[in-house]
Amino acid sequence: ANVTVTDLEELQELLMVNIENNKHLVTGSVRAKVLKWGEDVTEFQPPPDYILMADCIYYEESLEPLLKTLKDLTGPDTCVLCCYEQRTMGKNPEIEKKYFELLQRDFELEKIPLDRHDEEYRSEDIHIMNIHRKQVVGPQ
C-alpha cells in the first residue's frame, strides 16, 4: 500500500522515527504529512481507499473540524475505520454521543462486533466502527 500517516506539525518528528524504525516491514510506501482538522485537504486528493482513525474523539472543540476533514477527504468508495476507547469520566460520554450524532448526517455507521476484533487486543471498552459516506440519490 501507499500510506500517508498524519498528525500535527509538532508530532511529525515522532512519525518519522516510527517510519524509520518500521521501514523493514513496509512493502509499499509510507510518508508523514501535517494534517490539521478543518483545514484544506487538497494535497491529500484524490480520496484515499481507506482512512484509519484511532482515538480521535477527545474534546468537543475538535468535533466540527474533524467532521469537516472527514467529509472533505472521503469519496463515495472510501472506507473509514474508526477505533476508539469508550471513556466514562467527565464530559467524554456526551462528546462521544454528539460526535456520532453529527457523523450520521453524512455517513453510514456499522459497529464491528467484539467477536470480530483481534483476540489479543479486544476489550469491552474498545470500539471499531466501519464508516462510509451516505450515497447521494437524485439531483443535487
User: pLDDT digit of tens for each residue in the chain (140 aa)?
Assistant: 899 999 999 999 999 999 999 999 999 999 999 999 999 999 999 999 999 999 888 778 889 999 999 999 999 999 999 999 887 777 788 888 899 999 999 999 999 999 999 999 999 999 999 999 998 776 65
Residue 56 — φ and ψ, nearest 5°? Answer: -100, -5
What local confidence, expressed as pLDDT, does residue 139 receive? 66
Instruction: Map out the domains of the chain as residue ranges.
Output: 1-34, 37-133
Q: What is the per-residue pLDDT for 29?
A: 94
Residue reference for cell 472527514: 70
> b vs e for 60-72, b when ≥16 Cβ sit within 10 Å of the residue's Cβ?
eebbeebbebbeb
Which residues fall within 8 angstroms of residue 91, CB to CB, at 6 or more apart? 60
Count CB neighbours of 139 within 10 A.
Answer: 4
CATH architecture of 37-133: 3-Layer(aba) Sandwich (3.40)
